[in-house]
Structure 1
Amino acid sequence: MAALFLVDSDEQSRQAVRCVIEESPYKYLAVHEADTAHRAGLLLKQMQPTIMILDLSLPDMNGVSLGKMAKGLYPQLPIIVLSHLKMFDLVQECINAGFSSYLLKPVSKHELMAAFDRLLLSELCRETRHFMGEGAAPATFETDLGNPIDTVIRYIQLNFQQTITLQEVSSLVYLSPSHFSRLFKAETGITFVEYLTQYRIEKSKSLLKMTSLPIDVIANNTGFSSAGYFSTTFKRMVGQTPSEYRSQFQVFLHGQQHSAHRA
């Protein structure tokens, strides 16, 4: 699940960040907190956060050292530094350590959201591609003219994130669009467009159940032209909006987590 790791010894500062996140498009992030480097180190070994916000003035360790440790564990982890310290040498040290952003306290909502937009959307897209297991590149795809429908189904499975047209797939198997359409429906019982849409919806269900990625990111990475079109199509085919579908699984997951904590 996508998570924000907030490391700051100042409770008021952590609360201010939480409030900004809760009122933003990134409210889906699970927020984990630590007020010491020791506690942060233990949590880092138990989970892989999606993004980290780090104060440099920790009571038991230099924040830069903690950030370097986090980058050692997770090299792709975006780290946003929040600090009262305005020393150029310290900023340069953070840049050299591979940290992603250096913001001064008290941070404004606009500054924090700009950093999240710059860092987190690309990270979420990368997470989506990893989760979906993108298939082979089209150049490696082999066409089996003896089994045109199976060929097109494999092509859909490898390329459903991209725009796919009837003209494209019928040309792939050297058939006219009209003949291919009749053949596809005869073998599958549904039209090519219906099959493609159903396949994309099933992929989106996996992302809704297993991740906290935003709806627009899921729509984009399952081949839908817009979040609005995705939501309308999902509601028509599933009987629920994507958010409603996701919420029933979140309730279940939270129940499982609470049971595990009690145990």
Structure 2
Amino acid sequence: MPNMLIVDDEYESRYVLREFITSSEYHYFSVHEAETYEKGLLMLKQLKPSILIVEISLPGNNGFELGKEAKRWDPEISVIIYTQLKIFEYVQSAINLGFSAFLLKPVSRSEIKQAFERIIVHSLSTETNRFTGKREDTPNVDLAHPIESSIQYIQSHVKNPITLNQVADSVYLSPSHFSRLFKEEMGVTFIEYLTAYRIEQSKSLLKMTSLPIEVIAHQIGFTSSGYFATTFKKSERCTPSEYRSLFIN
């Protein structure tokens, strides 16, 4: 289960955030809390959270320093500053440090939701990539080996909608020629390969994470969890939930 860490010495502020998260579509996050800089620092090392929400004014140090430490250990972590200090320089500092959001107390549920919507896809992509080992960099095209380049393209863009025309364009071939060449070299059609690849990625995520099935479906490029479940069962003769249950102790 992906972790989220809230570091704030005000109980009410932590409660507002926790209540929002546990009652929202983001309830699959495991929420942890700390009241001081030192405890927050320790929990960062132990939990390796995907998201850090931190107050600037903390006993022992400040939230900017904790955010900087978090980014130093994990450049992909999303850091949200959550404070009552209305100082423009702090906003600018948060931007310069690569933090994801700057929220002023008291904050409304809609403001929290907007911030989460901006960062949640990035955070889940990071969580997914940690298990699949895939990067989203666009690979260089080897014109001498277009099918190999097309495979790299698929692997780099698996969470996005992918069409045969798009991949053919990426290797500078006509769709019809690319389709024939792909089948000749791979022994399966483009769609068969793409579907099989996505199913294999989903199996890794089902085994190694507790991400919700609808999130996994989104992260591997399926348009809906229902379509993912149908495709998975056709391929593996069991549902995603049944497959995951095989690996639960």
* TM-score bucket (shorter structure): 0.7 to 0.9
Question: What is the DSSP-based 3-state SS (H/G/I as helix, E as strand, rest coil) of the residue aligned with 2:57?
Answer: coil
Q: Which residue of 2 aligns with 1:229?
A: 227
Contact 1:143 1:173 in 2 (8 A): no
Q: Which residue of 2 aligns with 1:219?
A: 217
Question: What is the DSSP-based 3-state SS (H/G/I as helix, E as strand, rest coil) of the residue aligned with 1:140?
Answer: coil
Contact 2:36 2:58 in 1 (8 A): yes
Any idea what the Cα deviations from partners look like across 1:159-207, whole Å, max 9, x if unmatched? Answer: 26263659x7983485697xx6xx948xxxxx87556534432221111
Q: Which of 207, 215, 222 is equivalent to 2:205?
A: 207
Any idea what the Cα deviations from partners look like across 1:107-164, whole Å, max 9, x if unmatched? Answer: 22211111111012123224434524259847237659xxxxxx79x96587262636
* Partners of 1:45 and 1:246 in 2: CA distance: 28
How far is the alpha carbon of 1:236 from its aligned partner? 4.1
Q: Which residue of 1 aligns with 2:154?
A: 159
Q: Which residue of 1 aligns with 2:27?
A: 27
* Partners of 1:101 and 1:82 in 2: CA distance: 8
Contact 2:2 2:127 in 1 (8 A): no
Question: What is the DSSP-based 3-state SS (H/G/I as helix, E as strand, rest coil) of the residue aligned with 1:118?
Answer: helix
Q: Which residue of 2 aligns with 1:140?
A: 142
Where does 1:82-121 land on structure 2 (aligned, <5 Å)?
82-121=82-121
Identity of paired residues, percent?
44
Q: Which residue of 2 aligns with 1:79?
A: 79
Contact 1:125 1:217 in 2 (8 A): no
Q: Which residue of 2 aligns with 1:171?
A: 177
Where does 1:250-261 land on structure 2 (aligned, <5 Å)?
251-252=248-249
Give the counterpart letter for 1:163 in structure 2: I
Comparing 61-70 and 215-224, the one that deviates more: 215-224
Give the counterpart letter for 2:207 in structure 1: K
Give the counterpart letter for 1:30 in structure 2: S
Give the counterpart letter for 2:82 in structure 1: L
Gaps of 5+ in 1: 145-150, 186-190, 253-263
How far is the alpha carbon of 1:50 from its aligned partner? 0.8
Contact 1:83 1:105 in 2 (8 A): yes
* Partners of 2:107 and 2:246 in 1: CA distance: 35
- Taking a change above 3 Å as real, the CA distance of residues 172 and 193 of structure 1, as seen in their structure-2 partners, is closer
Gaps of 5+ in 2: 169-174
How far is the alpha carbon of 1:47 from its aligned partner? 3.6
- Taking a change above 3 Å as real, the CA distance of residues 60 and 223 of structure 1, as seen in their structure-2 partners, is closer
Any idea what the Cα deviations from partners look like across 1:2-46, whole Å, max 9, x if unmatched? Answer: 221111122332222122111222211122221111111112223
When the two structures are superposed, what TM-score results if normalisation uses the length of structure 2?
Answer: 0.73
- Taking a change above 3 Å as real, the CA distance of residues 69 and 232 of structure 1, as seen in their structure-2 partners, is same
- Taking a change above 3 Å as real, the CA distance of residues 20 and 193 of structure 1, as seen in their structure-2 partners, is same
- Taking a change above 3 Å as real, the CA distance of residues 11 and 240 of structure 1, as seen in their structure-2 partners, is farther
* Partners of 2:164 and 2:120 in 1: CA distance: 31
* Partners of 1:102 and 1:49 in 2: CA distance: 18
Contact 2:179 2:190 in 1 (8 A): no
Where does 1:234-249 land on structure 2 (aligned, <5 Å)?
234-238=232-236, 240-243=238-241, 245-246=243-244, 249=247
- Taking a change above 3 Å as real, the CA distance of residues 7 and 25 of structure 1, as seen in their structure-2 partners, is same
- Taking a change above 3 Å as real, the CA distance of residues 218 and 175 of structure 1, as seen in their structure-2 partners, is same
* Partners of 1:43 and 1:10 in 2: CA distance: 18
